[in-house]
Amino acid sequence: MTVNPAHTALWPAPHASGAVDATVHVPGSKSVTNRALVLAALASEPGWLRRPLRSRDTVLMAEALRAMGVEIEEGVGPDGTGEFWRVIPAGLRGPATVDVGNAGTVMRFLPPVATLVDGPVRFDGDPRSYERPLHGVIDALRVLGARIDDDGRGSLPLTVQGGGALEGGPVEIDASSSSQFVSALLLSGPRFNQGVEVRHTGSALPSMPHIRMTVDMLRAVGAQVDTPESGGEPNVWRVTSGALLGRDLTIEPDLSNAQPFLAAALVTGGKVLIPDWPSRTTQPGDRLREIFTEMGGSCELTDFGLVFTGSGTIHGIDVDLGEVGELTPGIAAVAALADSPSTLRGVAHLRLHETDRLAALTKEINELGGDVTETADGLHIRPRRLHGGVFHTYEDHRMATAGAVIGLAVEGVQIENVATTAKTLPDFPDLWTGMLGA
């Protein structure tokens, strides 16, 4: 096997010489871009995505849809409106091959789409994608009428034998390992003959804001969705069969990718402006306004965006992150630099994310001299004086950005494979050094 030199390269994380004072334009949301691509591909007329995120996860999604017959034109709009993708739906056809990389959104959102394809669709991806849970989607699709060939482990690689249509109807799943199981079934639900009714039967469902994002975006393209919040039964979502509209959607900045920049303000006692921070959003990153305020900063949502200011002091926090699990690595990094201990709870499912994030954070922070212990569902972090060293990233974009946050305060931190940030934020190294005025 050849080793990609980018994976072993070390990036010296810049150390902040003073308080940051910067405006950072954060590219579009991964979660919104990939939902918008799927919904536009399933619509009955063309649609537009403006300022889509262009990163490994979203390019994989676009390529996969193209492989199934969808046309996606790329261009640049007039007057600083940025890039756009014009999605032209077509009769979905196979045979097709889909590379999911290590994108949860691709590996979970597309098998339901593939049941609508006329022909087989083969799914494969990075080695880690074989380990990430997919059984909820596979088992549910079989109950709803799909034919899927896998090796019996309920995971990748697999082939969906698309029949051009799916019966749909009611299905029970345990989505406690990933909210994306629910989102996946709902997104394609309008195109199933009987729509879909998803009943979650397991223990706590993580990442509820991401399910709300799915529901909001479905409704915005004309789908009828009944949810627990709209008076339905707890843990039951129902999508009615019907045509979807093509829309013109401007993608919000990725608020989870804004996290390291907000953390920089907190860690250096500085100030960061994130333009275009939405006043209303389903993105989990919006919770950072509250979490990082409790950890010592303050924020103001202005006409220009979110202004986040650090006070020079960082406090520990005791917080349940079950709803906003993808924020955990960045919060752990800040917590390791705080003036008191932290407990991060409700995130056992992070053991099956891009890497086992609880083990990775514990090992890497402790190797810099930290004192982190894993609990059954999270982390205890007791801040200690840290020293430089290599921060390994395990092909996890959020490990890389978490290491960069620590590097601001600790001299001599080197991030292994910073290029892994390309999963959702290929511009990270440039945005980071730009923020620091380097």
Ligand X SMILES: O=C(O)C1=C[C@@H](OP(=O)(O)O)[C@@H](O)[C@H](O)C1
Ligand Y SMILES: C=C(OP(=O)(O)O)C(=O)O
Q: Given the rule CB under 6 A, which residues bind ligand Y?
A: 103-105, 326, 353-354, 398, 424
Q: Has 178 been labeled as part of a binding site?
A: yes
Q: Kindly tell me which residue out of 20, 31, 87, 420 binds ligand X, with binding defined by CB under 6 A.
A: 31
CB hemisphere CA count around 110 (13 angstroms):
36
Query: Of 287-346, which residues contact ligand X (CB under 6 A)?
Result: 325-326
Four-CA torsion 280, 282, 288, 290, nearest 10 degrees: 60
Q: 103 or 409, CB closer to ligand Y?
A: 103
Q: How far apart are CB 392 and ligand Y at their closest, in Å?
A: 17
Q: How far apart are CA 111 and CA 106, in angstroms?
A: 9
Q: How far apart are CB 105 and ligand Y at their closest, in Å?
A: 5
Q: Which H or E element spans position 218? A: helix 208-220
Q: Has 199 been labeled as part of a binding site?
A: no
Q: Has 183 been labeled as part of a binding site?
A: no
Q: Has 210 been labeled as part of a binding site?
A: no
Q: How far apart are CA 13 and CA 55, in angstroms?
A: 22
Q: Has 354 been labeled as part of a binding site?
A: no
Q: Has 31 been labeled as part of a binding site?
A: yes
Q: Does residue 185 come out as left (phi exceeding 0), alpha (psi in the -120 to 50 range) or beta? A: alpha
Check binding of 112 to ligand X (CB under 6 A). no
Q: Has 357 been labeled as part of a binding site?
A: yes
Crossing angle of the two packed helices 30-41 and 104-114, in degrees rounded to 10: 10
Q: Has 280 been labeled as part of a binding site?
A: no
Q: 35 or 271, CB closer to ligand X?
A: 35
Q: How far apart are CB 304 and ligand Y at their closest, in Å?
A: 27
Q: How far apart are CA 314 and CA 310, in angstroms?
A: 8
Check binding of 420 to ligand X (CB under 6 A). no
Assess contact for 99 and 61: CB atoms under 8 A: no
Query: Of 377-396, which residues contact ligand X (CB under 6 A)?
Result: none
Q: How far apart are CA 232 and CA 377, in angstroms?
A: 29
- Please tell me whether residue 240 adopts helix, strand or coil conformation: coil
Among ligand X, ligand Y, none, what binds residue 103 when CB lies within 5 to 8 Å by partner kind? Answer: ligand Y
Q: Where do we find the tokens 């799927």?
A: 38
CA neighbor of 392 nearest in space, from 337, 355, 426 = 355
Q: Does the annotation mark 229 as catalytic? A: no
Q: Has 188 been labeled as part of a binding site?
A: no
Q: How far apart are CA 271 and CA 97, in angstroms?
A: 46
Q: 316 or 325, CB closer to ligand X?
A: 325
Q: How far apart are CA 33 and CA 73, in angstroms?
A: 15
Q: How far apart are CB 261 and ligand Y at their closest, in Å?
A: 16
Q: How far apart are CB 230 and ligand Y at their closest, in Å?
A: 26
DSSP 395: T
Query: Of 169-228, which residues contact ligand X (CB under 6 A)?
Result: 178-180, 183, 206-207, 210
Check binding of 105 to ligand X (CB under 6 A). yes
Q: How far apart are CA 314 and CA 263, in angstroms?
A: 10
Among ligand Y, ligand X, none, what binds residue 238 when CB lies within 5 to 8 Å by partner kind? Answer: none
Q: 58 or 159, CB closer to ligand Y?
A: 58
- Annotated catalytic residue: which of 197, 326, 354, 416? 326
Q: 102 or 159, CB closer to ligand X?
A: 102
| Chain Cα centroid distance, residue 410 | 28
Assess contact for 360 and 328: CB atoms under 8 A: no
Structure tokens at 141: 């699709």
Among ligand X, ligand Y, none, what binds residue 398 when CB lies within 5 to 8 Å by partner kind? Answer: ligand Y
Q: 211 or 306, CB closer to ligand X?
A: 211
Q: How far apart are CB 105 and ligand X at their closest, in Å?
A: 5
Site string for ligand X, 349-368 (x = CB under 6 A): x-------------------
Q: How many residues bind ligand X (CB under 6 A)?
A: 13
Q: 254 or 273, CB closer to ligand X?
A: 254
Structure tokens at 223: 């789908």
DSSP 39-57: HHHTSSS-EEEES---SHH
- Please tell me whether residue 278 adopts helix, strand or coil conformation: coil
Q: Which residues make up each annotated binding site for 3-phosphoshikimate? A: 30-31, 35, 178-180, 207, 326, 353
Which residues are marked as active site? 326
Give residues in contact with ligand X (CB under 6 A): 31, 104-105, 178-180, 183, 206-207, 210, 325-326, 349
